[in-house]
Chains A and B, each alone.
Chain A
């Protein structure tokens, strides 16, 4: 293979030679070459091996959407050779072949594996014995892989950029129709984005002699403000959002109007051994010649069913490639103007003829042309064999309507043109050019009309614009329809044995496979698709949808219209999963003390949407320190709401089952929040700061939900109160332990004595010079103070506490020791020990419910009914003789049957035993009852307790 003489439209720069490697060997190329064009120019036709049969494959379409030549580029598998530009030093390798691309031992699958690999062979050949499936699976995966990912996860990093782009009009497709649409809409004042999967806009006309016109149009569009995304396929249409993948960027485009100008896809012909390298779509071969100056063959045969193949033959001939013959299936082909030009150029034209077989070892060497009967069989005596090293085929055009169909359009088969066309379009969606069935000569007019239509729909342009739009539509309606094409056989053949005829080169699906699927009952296109995987490969059915429909229609005796198309689904173009996975940055909340925890060596884990200190290396020692000296834990994650106004107390009385309006300023009360069904949803403390101001804390996980709950009812009841969520800006430190009072007293002028600062009291005081709110409460069961301050001052307070606490043995403790400590007190952790069915009565929290208070409150009705009988289950404490620690969720059994579950369990270093909480049948909810816990395949006993394990009377807390 050689380079052609410089071509007028070529996009390579011959003054800039570059080189890259393919399978370790240097390949010379020019700047602007794709991998496929450079390999073809170097003489390499075999670029890949097929998915199932490991047959040699070359470049079929010569365009970005083509998927037969997939290669490995560095660590990136499945790269389309026709879509990736070469750069100096690029390392390209073949994939799916061993030991080499030219000699692949797995080719034996093709030669000898036929009986073992029929369609659906996964479900047939490898179904028995069932236990062997894991072995089969490994072998099959290794044999059928398409490239390889790096072995280690950290080497698979994708650095995809995400970009949100709003625009007025998104035009998908950069051919003449798309460019015209974009230009018109932009000139009418719209903000327009245009995307095209090729490396430059222009579409098919770039290679068809009108490159100057479309390139000028692209320049005009840019000048008009159109943002052109090249090398950027649209992946799908998601209710108005169109993701567009461009190299390392995923554009998420939201437009008010969409114009699809995605053109039409030239289809391959189906005949025996139609997958040999050297067989290309006619348009693809022409692109290679025109845009890259590459001769994909020295002697070509062209087989076509319409004018497109004739035009391609003319183009190849003009580029300097010898055309041995042109077979046009249309009986009247000679009357076509392009045919006349071909004949005038000395090219032999064979009307009513097509290709029935290709021959060659690793690439096409000869082709058999023949006249065929209605079933695609060669007529006796009509076969003629020609030598060639390029077979350019053109099996008609299929509108690339997938995105329109995803947007809600329905396709129908147009008998006049023999094409599936999109029908009525949904609002805000427009189509222009070949995708809409417009003839090639009307692309510019169709695009201009679509662009104007989109702009008018946006309210742009005046009466004149509307009038021009009407005129353009009228002209469009008056255009000649697209040129007719010959009815295409499902499969043309010479009636002899041997060879495979493929309908899907991506998935190695043959005509025989589709027929067999229909015979086995999968005779609906959607079922046949799933059974055979036809259209499910990298090209997403671009080149296999119509051939498979033709085969199914032919085999089942139905029309193409009756068989129809499969449902169009994203992605329209393949995209690495890594590109869709998002940036590897987690949306995390961190307290103002986070840096201190890191410095102290904390194990940081997720707790809801917070990153929290789980422990500082030794949770049991941290728990002991809290009970023997003092500990401090960052509880800034607690939800914190400020409620102000004359009706603030009234609101709280209606939301909590106990009385909050009776709190005196400076006092604190615990409360649970209930659903209307009387189930516990959250808990926390309420502190009255002054007559009209309450400070409410919630669980860390429940903060947002409680804020919404309060806001909802505040609005609904129309009470005079204002709510502000101060969670994120307010830090809180829980200082607890026998020495806590001493530590606190060292950093505040406040009288911290028990007489001056009682349990469940709140005080305003400076700590280390920082104004703070101090709450004397004790979730961990020791004398404790929650110190609340503005987050920007939290480090100052924390540092001061530890400076003062050094002499008292103060140490930080994390979530895990906190859980041990609260379990000793049987303090319930909402969401951990309760679920959506838990009432205060079942949870042993009767004391939080005041049914005698005058106000109605959320959940009252349900609790009144619940109070009439004992709950079926109760939350109790338990200890486990022997020290075994059950898993949370372990089953409590009675008589061998499940009767409850463990919600929490830990080893208490203070008590030197395993303690926990569990829901048990009510009859077992008494001190000393024996439980059986079934956990991880074994059962063991536990003993029930209903009182806290530590300080059951609360004397320590109040001391």
Chain B
């Protein structure tokens, strides 16, 4: 067993399936895409694969390029085949991939690290550390505005905007994944609280909790979001 195996949420077939911190809250989430189409739908995305990468700035940039992500400026995430590359500082980034894919992601990172074991890069599976909620729909931004003071207007937060900041009075990160789709990341211990906040705000706008498969795809065609 590797030294850091105890921190990993998902061990594939060798261990029980991980349980989302929002498993109880999302039991009744519907799979109809109506909410995401008409108002706002929110889904538990806590089990998205998440890797933290720490390395000297030039090495981290090399790793990003080797993984096929375009250069991302501060405040901008890069979308690639593996998922989202989210630069948090010049020496620290989050790599977001599909649920259950952290093993593959880590292997990808190892493969991209061309320094033959001399790398100072540190990779850590932080899937369990962050819970996540995805909001999608024409009122997604308006819903977030009910609990978050970040400026997410399209002109200021275009698609792929990455916004660390205070989300519902807790430290969080917002990624604008598509025109009308936002990913909220926050500490896993806050998951129930965050869900309550999102549901409280979204329900007032006519939205509903949905399952992840009811979310529109990230590469959906661009549509004009409603003004909020």
Contact string against B for A residues 221-265, beta-carbon threshold 8 Å, 1 for contact and 0 otherwise: 000010100000000000000000000000010100000000000
Residues of A within 8 A of B188 (CB): 592, 728-729, 791
The reply to whether the CB of A772 lies closer than 8 angstroms to some CB of chain B is yes
Shortest distance between the CB of B224 and any CB in chain A (Å):
12
- A772→B142 CA distance, assembly (Å): 42
- Asked if A724 and B149 sit within 8 Å, CB to CB, the answer is no
* A254–B149 CB distance below 8 A: yes
Do A726 and B7 touch (CB < 8 A)? Answer: yes
A22–B202 Cα distance when bound, in Å, is 36
Interface string of B121-154 (1 = CB under 8 A from A): 0101011111000000000001001111111010
**Are A589 and B149 in contact (CB-based, < 8 A)?**
no
Give the nearest-CB partner of B143 in chain A: A163
Give complex CA distance A770, B12 in Å: 11
* Secondary structure of the B contact surface, majority rule: loop
Proximity bits, B143-174, A CB within 8 Å = 1, else 0: 00111111101011000000000001110000
Nearest 8 interchain pairs by C-beta: A729-B128, A729-B129, A792-B18, A589-B189, A771-B5, A728-B187, A166-B151, A773-B6
Contact B193 A586 (CB under 8 A): yes
B1 within 8 A of A: yes
Known pairs A254-B151, A726-B126, A729-B129. 4 more at Cβ < 8 A? A162-B147, A726-B129, A765-B1, A771-B11
Q: Is the CB of A729 within 8 A of B7?
A: yes
A220 within 8 A of B: no
A-chain residues with CB within 8 Å of residue B169 when the two chains form the complex:
587
Q: Which residues of B contact A772 (CB under 8 A)?
A: 6
CB distance from B192 to the nearest CB of A (A): 5
Chain A 753-764 against B: per-residue CB contact (8 Å), 1 yes, 0 no?
A: 000000000001
User: Can you list, as one digit per residue, whether each of B23-57 has a CB less than 8 Å from chain A (1) or not (0)?
Assistant: 01000000000000000000000010000101000
| CB proximity to A under 8 Å, residues B168-207 | 168-170, 187-193, 196-197, 200-201, 204
Min CB gap A328→B, angstroms: 48
Bound CA–CA A223/B145 (angstroms): 23
Closest chain-B Cβ to A203's Cβ sits at a distance in Å of 24
When A166-B153, A793-B16, A795-B19 are in contact, do A588 and B193 touch as well, CB less than 8 Å?
yes
* Alpha-carbon distance A591/B126, docked complex (angstroms): 16
Query: Considering only CB atoms, which chain A residue lies closest to B171 in the complex?
Result: A704
Judging by beta carbons under 8 Å apart, are A792 and B21 in contact? yes
A642 touching B124 in the complex, CB below 8 Å, given contacts A587-B169, A591-B189, A796-B19: yes
Q: Does A585 contact B (CB under 8 A)?
A: yes
Interface size on A, residues (CB 8 A): 56
Q: A729-B7, A790-B8, A791-B188 are in contact. Are A585 and B200 (CB under 8 A)?
A: yes
Contact B21 A791 (CB under 8 A): yes
Please pick, from A586, A645, A690, A791, the residue contacting B128 in the complex, using a CB distance under 8 A.
A791
* CB closest residue in chain A, given B1: A764
Within the assembled complex, what's the spacing in Å between the Cα atoms of A162 and B205?
Answer: 12
Contacts of A165 in B (CB 8 A): 145, 228
Contacts of B16 in A (CB 8 A): 768-770, 793, 796
Cβ contact within 8 Å between A693 and B3: yes
B interface residue numbers (CB < 8 A to A): 1, 3-11, 14-16, 18-21, 24, 47, 52, 54, 120, 122, 124, 126-130, 142, 145-151, 153, 155-156, 168-170, 187-193, 196-197, 200-201, 204, 227-228
Cα–Cα, bound, A896→B126 (Å): 57
25 contacts between A and B (CB under 8 A): A161-B204, A163-B146, A164-B145, A165-B228, A583-B200, A589-B189, A590-B193, A594-B192, A642-B4, A642-B7, A724-B126, A726-B126, A728-B188, A729-B7, A729-B127, A730-B129, A768-B16, A770-B16, A788-B6, A790-B6, A790-B127, A792-B9, A792-B18, A793-B9, A796-B16
1/0 contact trace for A783-795 toward B, CB 8 Å? 0000011111101
Task: Let me know if B148 and A793 touch, CB within 8 A.
Answer: no
Contact B196 A585 (CB under 8 A): yes
Q: Is the CB of B18 within 8 A of A793?
A: yes
Interface centre among B6, B155, B191 (most CB of A within 10 A): B6
Quick check: B19 and A724 within 8 Å, CB to CB? no
Contact: A730 with B128, CB < 8 Å?
yes
Bound-complex Cα distance A792 to B47 (A): 9
A620 close to chain B: CB less than 8 A: no
A819 surroundings in chain B (CB, below 8 A): none
Tell me the minimal C-beta distance from A702 to chain B in angstroms.
15
Q: Does A156 contact B (CB under 8 A)?
A: no
A771 touches B6 (CB 8 A): yes
Q: How far is A790 from B197 in the complex, measured between Cα atoms in Å?
A: 25
Contact A645–B155 (Cβ < 8 Å): no
Nearest A residue to B199, CB-CB? A585
Q: B153 contacts A191, CB within 8 Å?
A: yes
**Inside 8 A of B4's CB, which chain A residues have their CB?**
642, 689, 693
Q: Which residue of A lies closest to B16 (CB)?
A: A796
Beyond A164-B148, A191-B153, whether A585 also contacts B3 by CB under 8 A is no
**Min distance, Cβ A116 to any Cβ of chain B, angstroms:** 50
Docked pose: A166 CA to B144 CA in angstroms? 12
Is the CB of A720 closer than 8 A to any CB of chain B? yes
Check if B6 sits within 8 Å of A590, measured CB to CB: no
Bound-state CA distance A240–B187 (Å) is: 30
Q: What is the CA–CA distance of A65 and B147 in the complex, to the nearest angstrom?
A: 29
* Distance of B186 from chain A, by nearest CB (Å): 9
Inter-chain CA distance A378–B204, complex, in Å, is 61
A790-B9 in contact given A166-B151, A227-B227, A585-B200 (Cβ < 8 Å): yes
With the chains together, A789 CA to B125 CA distance in Å?
13
| Docked-complex contact B189 and A590, CB < 8 angstroms | yes
CB distance from A257 to the nearest CB of B (A): 15
Q: Flag if A769 contacts B15 (CB, 8 Å).
A: yes
- The answer to whether A595 has its CB under 8 Å from any CB of chain B is yes
B155-A191 in contact (CB<8A): yes
- Minimum CB distance partner of B155 in chain A: A191
Contact for A585 among B120, B122, B127, B193, CB less than 8 A: B193
Contact A724-B193, Cβ < 8 Å, known A693-B4, A792-B19, A796-B19: no
Instruction: Kindly list chain B residues whose C-beta atoms are within 8 Å of the C-beta of A384.
Output: none
A766 proximal to B (CB < 8 A): yes
In the complex, which of the residues A166, A583, A720, A728 contacts B156, with contact meaning CB atoms closer than 8 Å?
A: A166
Q: Is the beta-carbon distance between B200 and A793 smaller than 8 angstroms?
A: no
A771 CB contact (under 8 Å) in B8, B146, B155: B8
A644 within 8 A of partner (CB): yes
In whole Å, how far is B213's beta carbon from the nearest beta carbon of chain A? 20
In the bound complex, CA of A164 to CA of B151 (Å): 9
**Residues in chain B near residue A689, CB distance under 8 A:** 3-4
Among residues of B, the one whose C-beta sits closest to the C-beta of A791 is B128
Contacts of A792 in B (CB 8 A): 9-10, 18-21, 47, 127-128
Residues of A within 8 A of B187 (CB): 589, 727-728
Nearest-Cβ distance from residue B61 to partner chain A, whole angstroms: 17
| Interface contact A592-B21, CB-CB below 8 Å | yes
A558 interfacial by beta-carbon distance below 8 Å: no
Distance to closest chain A CB from B93 (angstroms): 12
Q: Does A610 contact B (CB under 8 A)?
A: yes
Complex Cα–Cα for A724 and B128 (A): 13
B7 neighbours in A (Cβ, 8 Å): 642, 726, 729-730, 790
Minimum CB distance partner of A787 in chain B: B6
A853 CB within 8 Å of chain B: no
How far does the alpha carbon of A263 sit from the alpha carbon of B129 in the complex, in Å? 53
| Given A225-B227, A722-B54, CB of A791 within 8 Å of CB of B9 | yes
A92 to B16, CA, bound (A): 61
Asked whether A585 lies within 8 Å of B8 as measured between CB atoms, the reply is: no
Shortest distance between the CB of A727 and any CB in chain B (Å): 8
Contact at A771–B1, with CB atoms within 8 Å? yes
CB distance from A751 to the nearest CB of B (A): 15
* Contacting residues, chain B, for A690 (C-beta < 8 A): 3
Q: How far is the CA of A770 from the CA of B6 in the complex (A)?
A: 8
Q: How far is the CA of A789 from the CA of B19 in the complex (A)?
A: 12
Which residues of A (636-650) have their CB < 8 Å from a CB of B? 636, 642, 644-645
Q: How far is the CA of A411 from the CA of B104 in the complex (A)?
A: 67
